[in-house]
Amino acid sequence: MKKQKWISLLCTGLVLACAAAPVCAKEDKPETVTLNEVAHSIFYAPQYAAYELGYFAEEGIDLQIVTGFGADKVMTAVLSGEAEIGFMGCESTVYAYNQGAQDYVVNFAQLTQRAGNFLVAREEMPDFQWSDLIGKNVLGGRKGGMPEMVFEYILKQNGIDPQTDLTIDQSIDFGSTAAAFSGGQGEFTVEFEPSATALEQEGAGFVVASLGVDSGYVPYTSYSAKSSYIEEHPDIIQGFTNAMQKGMDYVNSHTAEEIAATIAPQFPDSDLATITTIVDRYAKQDTWKENLVFEKESFELLQDILESAGELEQRAPYEDLVDTSFAEAAVK
């Protein structure tokens, strides 16, 4: 009887302790979080490093990565609740806010600080100048999207009118321009990796300029979520940001070869040498920030670019659309 009573008291104590503690066996189950990314590219190496190294799992997050193929599609997924977190150019958060979204989408972490695309020509041009595009046909990006706006921003910085001095073909879907270029369309094309390197390997094109270098530091891509989700799930947002900071620390402290080997499972169609070449190209142009803090100066530069592109009638307040608290805590 004494033994049974002792066991009963022990079980009761465990139940009470479990009820009082913030984490219990049931709550140890990872939280499934869907991340909708604008594209699946080596450009986002810190994210894939964090995933492959188990940093999200360490934070209790079972991350499901879905590729949206365009910022507009990512935003739709976030607003509809199909994805908890969106990864895209933050211009979409400005558009949604200005269109009157009540539960607007807030940026809580910035990943890249350079544009990730490259200008590809049909022949080698070691002395390329942006003025070489005058009178030419270029396969560009979606109107109002960051790739296209940064491209046009560079053109204007070099005294070139995007509307009259060249022809920019915006009729081809995101992700299909490399195939169109390889098939004979356009004299130049603006490409992300691995498409830029693939065109070089095929002998179908040559990288002649980096938009990331020539545009300067630009808040190109960031992580965001609906304001209501951030308010209701701050622990998940913090855990996600912590994992991403670890991924950022990793790429900033390892060689291109080491990073490539880590993220290779994410890119089964690319050989290790190609991944290494691309990682090295991005690392050398200072693509990734040291931290995830989205600073006000960067946000205002983004809106300058939007205005320059004629895509912004009213500037959005930084205080409403950016929350740096999670990124600042992750650094600590």
State pLDDT tens for residues 155-214. Answer: 999 999 999 999 999 998 877 899 999 999 999 999 988 899 999 999 999 999 999 999
CATH number at 31-114+218-331: 3.40.190.10
| Nearest residue to 213 via CA among 296, 303, 115 | 115
Do residues 316 and 98 touch, judged by C-beta distance below 8 A?
A: yes
∠ CA 153-87-47, nearest 5°, is: 110
Direct distance between the N- and C-terminal alpha carbons of the chain, in angstroms, rounded to an integer: 53
Domain ranges for the chain? 31-114+218-331, 117-215
Confidence of residue 13 (pLDDT cuts 50, 70, 90): very low
- Non-local (6+) Cβ contacts of 203 within 8 A are none
Which residue in the block uniquely carries the two structure tokens 């002998």? 203
pLDDT at residue 19, rounded to an integer: 39
Burial class, 121, CB count within 10 angstroms (exposed 0-12 / middle 13-18 / buried 19+)? buried
Question: Would you state the pLDDT for residue 95?
Answer: 92
> What does the pLDDT read at residue 54?
98
Helix (H, G, I), strand (E, B) or coil at 227: helix
Mean pLDDT (the chain) is 89
Q: pLDDT band at residue 71, thresholds of 50, 70 and 90?
A: confident
Of 59-63, 120-124, 174-178, 180-184, the one with minimum mean pLDDT is 174-178
Q: Give the pLDDT band (50/70/90) at residue 141.
A: confident
Provide the residue count of the chain. Answer: 332
Provide the whole-model pTM.
0.83
Q: Give the per-residue pLDDT at 14.
A: 39
| From the candidate CATH numbers 3.40.140.10, 3.40.250.10, 3.40.190.10, 3.40.50.10490, the one assigned to the domain spanning 117-215 | 3.40.190.10
Report pLDDT for 72: 87
Asked whether this chain's domains 31-114+218-331 and 117-215 adopt the same fold, the reply is yes
